[in-house]
Amino acid sequence: MDGGDHMEERPRFHHLPVMVDEITALFGTVPSGYVLDATLGGGGHSEALLEAWPHLSILGIDRDERALAAAMQRLDRFGDRLQVFHTRFDGLETAMEALSIDTLSGALFDLGVSSPQLDVGERGFSYRSDALLDMRMDQTQAWTAADVVNGYSVEDLTRVLHQYGDERFARRISQAIVAARPIESTVELAEVIVAAIPAPARRTGGHPAKRTFQAIRIEVNGELDALPSALDTAIDRTAPGGRLAVLSYHSGEDRIVKDRFREAETGGCLCPPELPCVCDAVQTVRVVRGVPKRPSAQEQQTNPRASSARLRVVERIEDTPTRGRL
């Protein structure tokens, strides 16, 4: 759907964008045209880009209809410089076709969950609010956190908590969850998690349920499943001189971003680094930021949710045959 005119609800969706000045500066030199905001959220990054760079428009996509409605309201003054589409970010091709956009001038992926989604208690993202186990970014999907918490085996829960939450007590927590079923609310789940973690470990590293809630949220929404193809598509559809910037918030996301950028930088070349490439690999990007940038100390203090952010950036180039490993 373009424009989302049927959305009658215009909720408040306040969100402090992470590293907004750095992101805005990155796109000043890209060609005129549409920059993809693959996680439009409250529209903070897009607003900054539209204000700073008159040569740019925004293609904003998001799986959260509340976020789209709020962003459209916030960015209404920019008129036809904003196009929106309701989809997960791996639906980019469909969005571009529907809106007759052939090429991108750049792309921004701000991964993870937004502050408003965490702060609206009834959505079930937060261990700090009592709500039903939901955690759906897209409220039209049937699968919820309750299905994961009350349906997965100990083995599957352990895999999710370890892979998506880097939780060192994954098995203990998973066994406790299965033993406590049925679990109906976020507060119930948080209490089970806290009780399963050894007391000394509860005193460090923030709330003991943080990693488990993160892991379940990622599983419910298939966030990492969609990311590799979405990044590949964005790179393919970006014009030379365009840039792709990704903000990730945990190691699983950052590993995928690093891998897909490296694949585009090397063209997938497998030749020995000391020899010329003979596998017809084609480089499509150059790395602008090889080491991920972190938010400033001041930003981390004023916006604690930015503290784990990592920014990686590449620039699209003309397709170039790879001459050995880069």
Q: What is the mean pLDDT of each run of 10 residues along the chain (326 residues)?
A: 39 71 97 96 94 98 89 95 94 96 97 67 84 91 96 98 94 98 97 95 84 94 92 98 95 93 92 82 89 91 87 94 54
Q: What is the DSSP string of 279-302?
A: S--EEEEEEEEEEEE---HHHHHH
Q: Which of 3.10.20.30, 3.40.50.300, 3.30.950.10, 3.40.50.150 would CATH assign to domain 20-115+223-321?
A: 3.40.50.150
Per-residue pLDDT at 203: 79
- For the chain, the domains span 20-115+223-321, 140-221
Per-residue pLDDT at 131: 92
Q: How does 132-165 read in b/e, with b if 16+ C-beta sit within 10 Å?
A: ebbbbbeeeeeebbbebbbebebeebbbbbbebb
User: In this structure, is the dihedral angle defined by the CA atoms of residues 99, 103, 74 and 126, taken in order, positive or negative?
Assistant: positive
| Topology agreement, domain 20-115+223-321 and domain 140-221 | no
Per-residue pLDDT at 10: 40
Q: Residue 186 in contact with residue 207, Cβ under 8 Å?
A: no
Per-residue pLDDT at 48: 97
The CATH number given to 140-221 is 1.10.150.170
The helix/strand/coil state of 59 is: strand
